[in-house]
Structure 1
Amino acid sequence: MTAVGTALSLEALEEGFQNKIAALQICSDLRGGWKEDTVVEFGQLKQELQIIRQEIVRFKAIITSSKKDLLTAHTLLELMQGLCTRLTHMKTNLPSHLPRANANPTTTKVSPEQVVTESDKKNKTNQEKPAPKKDCGKSSQTPTISYVTVKEFNDVPKYLRGRLQYDQVNIAVDEVNKTLETKYALLRRPRAKLSEVDMKVVMACRQQENQETKGLYFVVDNDIKRWSGLKLDSNGRSIMTVLRTLKRLREVRGPGSLDPIHTVHEALSNRFV
């Protein structure tokens, strides 16, 4: 067994070579000079040293490669930790207005793009016929306004947004949609199934209709106060202004002391959202 094969450390390897050299020196002294077998022993030592040099070169290459891999691993670890932190923050701060898994599948979400496309198709097929008015009270579904995107919100002038936060606007969208659905669900109920209180509410809603609102889905301030949690204080008014700016709503001033009527913008083909 050679020193290269048995040594477990550099110190043990050095000690093994020192012992061999010392033994060879003693043999040389006892024999009275360097004999042929002693030269053979030194030749074997030389071969072992060459093997050691090759192994050292190989180990150096492995160490250099491992250092690079270690740096790459540290970089990936930092990226993964940052990603985990972001995902955890997103998970714990999900906006409350996002649709839930148990959301009502029958609710129709109408985006401005969809409304305009549908209107264009209808106009092409009915160019010579007058567009019929939609009877809101008889419709089986109530359209709802679409959520505001981050880009749309950021494009609203700062003097209109004030200190409003993005999620506040979409929470208000939920409340307006809730008001719409509740109001028109009540208007669609048969007269025989209405209580005295509900009948008074229905009559009040019918009285809100005029030439500007005929055939449209709309709500007034009292509807929002009655059927939603949206407060129409200064903050709530700012939100309604933002929704009108983004063409989600159009305000129609009623005659006399009638509350402002919130209906769809004209660009959306008179469909309320």
Structure 2
Amino acid sequence: MAEPLKVFSVLCTYFHKVHTFRKKMSDLESISQHIYDRVSSIQCLLDLSDVPQNKMRSLGQEILSLESLLEEFEKSVGRQKDQFHHLKELEELFQKHVESLQHLKDNVPAHMPKENGPEIEKEPSTNHGQATNVEPIQHEVAKYIKCYVREMEFITMAEFECIPQYMKGRVSYSQINAAVQSINTAVAAKYKIIRQPVKTLKNHARKLLQRFKDQETKDTKGQYFVVEEDLREFTQMKMDKRLQGIFNMLRHCQRLRELRGGGVTRYVLL
């Protein structure tokens, strides 16, 4: 029994010595690596010490110059980023404007304001400084006046937005201008009959002409007006509360005024 214990004790001693040796070898390797690194650093310093002082100074200046260039490059990159974000915002804004313009183009109102007839230009004087014959001009003026029929101007968007909400109700911008167009149609049809020779009129037109004359008063002289019967005759407008509301809005926008008398309400164009 003593012999195995002795052998075991010897083996333990052996393994302990092996472990201690390995640990010392590991520490020795670490020390060796550290010494090698230090020697490499010293060698690098010695190599640099052989460089002339003026070249070392030049090398330092080049390094500082490179550092300055890197800083400028970073600043330039920053400015380019800011400019890119700004251009991106401008692109989005421009796209919104394009969409708005496209919407306006696709939704142009059917009735737009237009000029009331052409302008009459004077004829130039002759080369000899003599006055021109005014008869042709007077003839053109008379013809223009005979054919001219006053039209109600369409309501602008700014005017429509200034109308009180209680007065507008549910009437839209396009609906009020559609009513303006219908009123202009009735005015044009009425005064076309008035200005035609009676002999050229048919029976129905003659009856209408007589009614037009009966509705004339001293207050309507030189004015253009229609009544509800004219709107029924020449348009498809419905005489209801909605139309009365539109008349109120047109009076608010100073497009017409009401003239009552003889049981008839006359809508006079302004």
Describe the shift of the 1:84–1:243 C-alpha distance in structure 2 as closer, same or farther (beyond 3 A). same
Residues 106-255 of structure 1: matches in 2 within 5 Å?
A: 106=117, 139-255=146-262
Please give the alpha-carbon distance, in whole angstroms, between the structure 2 residues aligned to 1:167 and 1:194.
Answer: 35
- Tell me by how many angstroms 1:213 deviates: 2.9
TM-score by structure 1 length? 0.61
CA gap 1:51/1:157 in 2 versus in 1, 3 angstroms = closer
Runs of 5+ consecutive residues of structure 1 not aligned to the other structure:
1-24, 109-137, 264-271
Contact 2:154–2:177, Cα closer than 8 Å, also in 1: yes
Q: Aligned AA for 1:64?
A: G
Aligned mate of 1:90, from 101, 104, 116: 104
Please tell me the residue identity of whatever aligns with 1:262.
Y
CA distance in 2, matches of 1:61, 1:220: 76
User: How far is the alpha carbon of 1:205 from its aligned partner?
Assistant: 1.9
Cα pair 2:112 2:154 within 8 Å, conserved:
no
Which residue pairs with 2:37 in the alignment? none
- For 1:203-250, what per-residue CA distance to the aligned partner results, in whole angstroms no more than 9, with x for missing partners? 232222234434432111111122224332221121012222333222
Q: Which structure has the highest helix share of the two?
A: 2
| Structure 2 match to 1:39 | 51
Query: Which residue identity lines up with residue 265 of structure 2 in the other structure?
Result: P
- Give the superposition deviation at 1:95: 2.2
What are the superposed Cα offsets for residues 11-43 of structure 1, whole Å, 9 maximum, x if unpaired? xxxxxxxxxxxxxx8xx79xxx6498x626x85
Between Structure 1 and Structure 2, whose CA radius of gyration is higher?
A: 2
Count residues in correspondence. Answer: 202
Seq. identity, % = 29
* 3-state SS, counterpart of residue 147 of structure 2: coil
Report the CA distance shift for 1:78/1:227 in structure 2 as closer, same or farther (over 3 A): same
Q: Which SS does the other structure have where 1:146 is aligned? A: coil
RMSD: 3.3
Within the candidate set 66, 77, 90, 1:63 is matched to 77
Give the distance between the partners of 1:61 and 1:221, measured in 2 at CA: 76
Rounded Cα–Cα distance in structure 2 between residues aligned with 1:64 and 1:220: 72
1:113-158 CA-partner distances (Å, limit 9, x unpaired): xxxxxxxxxxxxxxxxxxxxxxxxx843122222334444344333
3-state DSSP of counterpart to 1:247? coil
Unaligned runs of 5+ in 2: 1-39, 120-144
Answer 1 or 2: higher relative contact order, Cα 8 Å, separation at least 6. Answer: 1
